Chain A
Amino acid sequence: MALGDLEREIMARLWAAAEPLTVRQVHEALSRDRDLAYTTVMTVLDRLAKKGVVVQQKADRAYRYAPAQTREEMTASVMLDALSATPDQDAALAYFVGQLPPDALAAAIEAARKK
């Protein structure tokens, strides 16, 4: 399994969980239907923490991991980044229809979340 897929699945587990999870809990959930090393899960969680999308908390001598933002919050911030025109037009992304002015943007994302 590609590393990207594993990262995505681990994030999905963390988002679905009601509370921060330990490496063991994530490993147990994911290795039910496949062969997956404990250390792999630990490495990936560590990478996600380094990227800033997961936060590490120490409780009862064990590290627990939680998503830094909810899935909805992260989606909104990606969309915001995608749609906002940077002042210097850095040409980082190419759009099918164009970019939004900042005020319309917030409204559009808000409207989209309510639907």
Chain B
Amino acid sequence: MTAFLLGALGLLLSLVVPGILARARWPDRAPAAAVLLWQAITLTGVLCALGVVLSAPEELTRTSGRPIATAALIGALLIAASIVLRLLWSLYGVSKRSRARREKHRTLVDLLDRAEQREELGVENLRVLQGALPLAYCVAGGQGRVVLSDGVLRILSRPEIDAVLAHEQTHLRHHHELVMESFTAFYRAVPRPLRSRAPLDAVHLLLEMVADDAASRVAGPAPLKAALERLTDAVPLTEDVAPDPKGDARRRRLTRLGSSHHRSVALDTVAAAAALGLLVLPTVILVVPWLHAALDEWPLR
């Protein structure tokens, strides 16, 4: 029974809930808590899978003879271990590759930096690239770098530049790259037919919103909104790029920066509580009683 319930919960969390949450618009009003909720959903999904693997063989063989029960237990432990190893291996690979790419990139932007322009702006970890193509991004790791191109400095006003800088510094300060790396690793570890980009894309957009919120607290929402509009107009972003099929992300970020949009503390609280509940409740309600029963029958004793 435990295995069945855990399996049902796991399927719900990995196949049904992500679709619903990805389509919902309330996370725009509580992006940080929504990221937490995505993390809880993903992690609980994994825990459910492990729970099924461990409890199902035991439940099915509880009344069988000892050799069968023992074999089932060993098989279950092996499968559970392989799931955990696959996840860890994926995380290791993703973070290693990202780190290498970032390190190489950091070396080059440090060498290409137009120091005169950077000193004018007075930002220590800023690097300015020569080139009219408007470009603004950050490279995490080490001290972290915010990279702007000449093009950005030319088309944005000083308050708008400050807003963009505040946005990028937030990514660096809050280590958003680690959140993205963990979701990427999970995405890659899931077997292909079951994979879904929904969590990855949703979390990516939510992290942008978190950075937007921090930037608009420092620099005001108006300059940030103006910067976002100007940069997206200047860069010929085709709206059908994979992560953003409908140009939806930009519209949602702009709407949030409008005057009528408000962050919601109540939503923050509810989403954070839901995240915590997801992680704790299934364990307490399902796993603990099963463990109790299973240990009484432990075949390797």
Contact = CB atoms under 8 A, between A and B. Distances in A.
Nearest to B188: A88
Contacts of B237: 97-98, 100, 104
B132 A112 contact: yes
A96 B136 contact: yes
B149 A95 contact: no
Interface string B170-186: 01000011001101100
B242 to A, nearest CB: 7
Q: Which of A72, A86, A90, A111 counts the most B-chain CB atoms under 10 A from its CB?
A: A90
Given A78-B129, A85-B243, A4 B188 contact: no
Nearest to B133: A112
B111 to A, nearest CB: 5
Q: Which secondary structure characterizes the binding site on chain B?
A: helix
A39 interface: no
A92 to B, nearest CB: 4
A11 interface: yes
Interface string A74-115: 111111011101101111111111111100100111011101
Contact of B168 (A92, A94, A101, A113): A94
A8 B115 CA distance: 9
A78 B109 contact: yes
28 contacts: A74-B108, A74-B111, A75-B131, A77-B108, A78-B109, A79-B135, A81-B104, A85-B242, A90-B98, A90-B181, A90-B184, A91-B177, A91-B180, A92-B102, A92-B177, A93-B101, A94-B176, A94-B211, A97-B235, A97-B237, A98-B235, A99-B243, A100-B236, A100-B238, A101-B240, A101-B241, A108-B236, A112-B132
